[in-house]
Amino acid sequence: MRPLNRPPIIRRRSRTVLVGGIPIGGGAPIVVQSMTNTDTADVAATVTQVKALADAGSELVRISVNTAEAAAAVPVIRMRLDALGCAVPLIGDFHFNGHKLLTNFPECARTLAKYRINPGNVGKGSKHEPQFAVMVEKAIDFGKPVRIGVNWGSLDQDLLASLMDENARSVNPLDAARVMREALITSAIRSAQFAEALGLPGDRIILACKVSSVQDLIAVYSELAQRCDYPLHLGLTEAGMGSKGIVASTAAIAVLLQQGVGDTIRISLTPEPNGDRTREVVVAQEILQTMGLRSFAPLVSACPGCGRTSSEFFQELANNIQTYLREQMPRWRERYTGVENMTVAVMGCVVNGPGESKMANIGISLPGTGEVPVAPVYVDGQKTVTLKGARIAEEFEQIINDYVRSTYGGEAPAAHLRPEKKSISIRSVQER
């Protein structure tokens, strides 16, 4: 597609942190993360899900390390993933007993690419600082980065109470929501400063302050971004299921990304029963790609349909083509450099069909109700062939394959990729 001129998004300047060799922050591409929901002690199930997430495009995968059995399983999981050719870095998610697990299972500590520490549940009262310190010291010993991830569902209650008391004594007290947001930010920054004081280099620290409200997330990260230069991990926690989770996450994260805030993202969707965990990866990728920040897979444009498109054929074709492109990406990514930038249009009638098709790398304008039963195909803005009949879907899929090979693989273009001089005619599309 030939996009209209638009001002670039100016990214917030931050330090660069390496996680398993992947740079985060410092202007590096925004990284997509995900998390398993298997019992980590179940090695086979966890390996299967980690690989599925990585194959879908997750560049970092977080796993829960909550028990001795889970900690013992981490090196085995890494070994099996490596045997499968899956090198995705693993992040250990620790709560409550992380100081013990990292101490008692050094191979777990060595194997993980990063530790996630929640300062709100590493220990209460006099235990808080010593137990936090143990986790940081293990990160220092093994040369690992950490994400200090504050969550308002598990916020340090001592800190919150202290800030609430201080606010109550203020001449101009803030409302409770403002104090809560300040507690999140203060917890993250103070914890990072404490980690550095313990000896953890500042370029091994990533911060996150997760909430479940769109406006609160925007407010928290906008403020946090101004008060530190650590890389920031974005995510709306407990976003919800289905369209609600997708819409809420997109609304919050897109605003922050447009402001240049955010170096890694995760979409925390609650899966439908027996749902596919990789959905959260696809949504994260599509947010970044539709905003023009990264490219992961060819994008399909398709019209929503109206009274002119009573046939379901174009809907089926658009869905099939989008599924096909994603299925091909693992193989294409290795062979065809730049194929993820390709755009495809599947349009349902003559109103916007030809125009939209010309704007894509490959576009097809299907006949609407009562229109001549032909489907012109456009390649890089030029009409190249007209399809007819019951095999339009198969013919169009072949055109896409040929285009990928010729454009991104250097092969000679097929005849149907050149400006139109002939038509492919089978049977009328109205037979569908």
**pLDDT value at position 191?**
98
Structural tokens at position 21: 């060799």
**pLDDT value at position 274?**
84
102-160: pLDDT as tens digits = 999 999 999 999 999 999 999 999 999 999 999 999 999 999 999 999 999 999 999 99
Residue-wise pLDDT tens for the chain (432 aa)? 455 567 889 999 999 999 999 999 999 999 999 999 999 999 999 999 999 999 999 999 999 999 999 999 999 999 999 999 999 999 999 999 999 999 999 999 999 999 999 999 999 999 999 999 999 999 999 999 999 999 999 999 999 999 999 999 999 999 999 999 999 999 999 999 999 999 999 999 999 999 999 999 999 999 999 999 999 999 999 899 999 999 999 999 999 999 999 999 999 999 888 889 999 999 999 999 999 999 999 999 998 989 998 778 888 999 999 999 999 998 998 899 999 999 999 999 999 999 999 999 999 999 998 888 899 999 999 999 999 988 999 999 999 999 999 999 988 888 788 886 544 443 443 444
**pLDDT value at position 416?**
81
d(CA 426, CA 432): 12
